[in-house]
Amino acid sequence: MVIEFLLGFFISLFAGIIGSMVGIGGGIVITPFLSYFNYLPSQISSTSLMAVFSTSLSSSFFYYRKKLLSKKIGLILSVSSIPGTYFGVIISKLFSLSEFRFYFAFILIATSIYLILKSKLKNKNHFNSTNYHQVIVNKNDISLIKLLFIVISSFFAGILSSSFGIGGGIIFVPSLIILLGFDMNQAAATSQFALLFTSLSGLLIYIYYGFPDYFIGIVLSIGSLIGGSIGAKISPIVPSNILLKIFSAVLIIVSIKLLFDGFTLF
């Protein structure tokens, strides 16, 4: 048990740093870790959301002070995703552990592909953006079509968040970049702000049903809280392309292992 707690702390610390820097939520790292301790899928998702909430809390505080996040867009993402979290909780209760690992492997693969393409999105956005104030104007001038896409994608982000305990940032961040022209730092910051409410919504529903493992969850939350602060501080100043490519390679390796486990347990 002590080894599990120590390992969980350092994994959540790493997850908090990565999740805060990229805006995808540390659950993408914590969920595979929990899946190897024979937790039920609902326990995995709910306990992971405790850590995701902590990452979002610490990083959002820093991003808010640096004025990198858009509160208006963040609230739109949050309100749109919260209804989806309820359906996500229901879906997670339908999975067996083998099915959970199998399906989550595909999410890891999709996330790794996104991280590999992240630098291209960043360069494209840098070329198209003039300055920060112009981006702010674009944020507040949203067409109805774009708003509709944001609302729909956020709803599915809420389902994904609660189903697998990952937060939903892998949908938030690309949507902000592609649809609204955010740069990477602003997209990560606004995504973390939205995840603060999305993860809390799913977590509260799970708490109502009594699923979280609070002992390991508190350990993971402490590590994520510290990691989220570190990630938010170093994100604006550290070139992360190499780090993200290495991290994406790790995700692919983990996903292969999860696919193998899923096949053998079916």
Average model confidence (pLDDT) for the chain? 83
Residue 43 has pLDDT above 90, yes or no: yes
Position 255 scores a pLDDT of 81
Distances (CA, A) of 54 to 48, 136, 167, 189: 10, 27, 11, 14
Q: What angle do CA 215, 219, 223 make, to 5 degrees?
A: 165
- pLDDT band of residue 134 (cuts 50, 70, 90) is very low
| pLDDT (tens digit per residue) in 144-185 | 888 899 999 999 999 999 999 987 888 888 888 888 888 777
Cα separation, 53 vs 27, whole angstroms: 10
The burial of 130, by beta-carbon neighbours within 10 Å (0-12 exposed, 13-18 middle, 19 or more buried), is given as exposed
- pLDDT band of residue 239 (cuts 50, 70, 90) is low
Residue 220 has pLDDT above 90, yes or no: yes
What residue numbers bound the domain in which 147 lies? 2-265
State whether residue 146 is helix, strand or coil: helix
Position 207 scores a pLDDT of 95
pTM summary value = 0.82
Nearest to 162 by CA among 190, 195, 126: 195
Residue 45 has pLDDT above 60, yes or no: yes
Count of CB atoms situated within 10 Å of the CB of 142: 17
Structural domain tally of the chain?
A: 1
Position 129 scores a pLDDT of 45
The burial of 67, by beta-carbon neighbours within 10 Å (0-12 exposed, 13-18 middle, 19 or more buried), is given as exposed
